Chains A and B, each alone.
Chain A
């Protein structure tokens, strides 16, 4: 059974850097078929795709956030790490990691999400 679980701070201050971790179970972060995405959702609003990393280390970023985002993986811990710099209160929301299905490519497995509040 494949599961994803997000973890990270619940509260961060403006201008700080956010680091979130997605821990995979049931699949290897280094497998060629593994593609992990980060998606966020401000309270009561729509979903926004942020970034993706593949098992072969290819990375993709939202054009609007490209300069602030970094995505990487830690094979020893089977984790994907997302960092978002220069935080602003508009970055407040729930951050999800989600797997892209190996063949049909939709996001078939999601973590439960982690809520992040940006406030001084």
Chain B
């Protein structure tokens, strides 16, 4: 089972700033099957990025992802008020089990 470790646990930023979130896998993720989700209180997760760097339909281009092997990053350029939320990385793909990171909370500074 691949363990995903996200850092930092909490990111305190102001609107307009850039957020950089990290996700490290305990072993190389085949096929870069890493996704990022945004979750707001009381809501289901929303898919932002799949296959490490592809934006899902309708996701603003201020969200970008990159990475390979064991290290993956989600960047949010120019934070908007609606971007303050919890973000999870996710290892998925062809062979289970699939796992999630513990989350990074992006909060207003």
Contact = CB atoms under 8 A, between A and B. Distances in A.
Contact of A63 (B1, B33, B47): B1
Contacts of A63: 1, 97
B100 A100 contact: no
Contact of A113 (B44, B51, B93): B44
Main secondary structure of the interface of B (DSSP, over half): loop
A112 B44 contact: yes
Interface in B53-109: 54, 56, 88, 90, 92-94, 96-103
Of A60, A100, A104, the most chain B CB neighbours within 10 A belong to: A104
Interface stretch (A16-24, A42-50, A71-79, A80-88): A42-50
Which of B37, B44, B51 is most buried by chain A, counting CB atoms within 10 A of its CB?
Answer: B44
A108 B47 contact: yes
B51 A47 contact: no
A48 B96 CA distance: 12
B100 A105 contact: no
Contact of A106 (B1, B50, B99, B102): B50
Nearest to A63: B97
B16 interface: no
Contacts of A101: 50
A3 B103 CA distance: 25
B45 interface: yes
Contact of B93 (A47, A61, A105, A110): A105
Given A47-B45, A104-B50, A110-B44, 8 more contacts: A47-B90, A47-B100, A49-B98, A62-B96, A62-B97, A63-B1, A106-B47, A107-B35
Interface of B: 1, 33, 35, 37, 43-47, 50-51, 54, 56, 88, 90, 92-94, 96-103
27 contacts: A37-B98, A39-B100, A45-B102, A46-B88, A46-B102, A46-B103, A47-B45, A47-B90, A47-B100, A49-B96, A62-B97, A96-B44, A96-B45, A98-B45, A104-B50, A104-B54, A106-B47, A106-B50, A106-B51, A106-B90, A106-B92, A107-B45, A107-B92, A108-B47, A108-B50, A108-B56, A110-B46
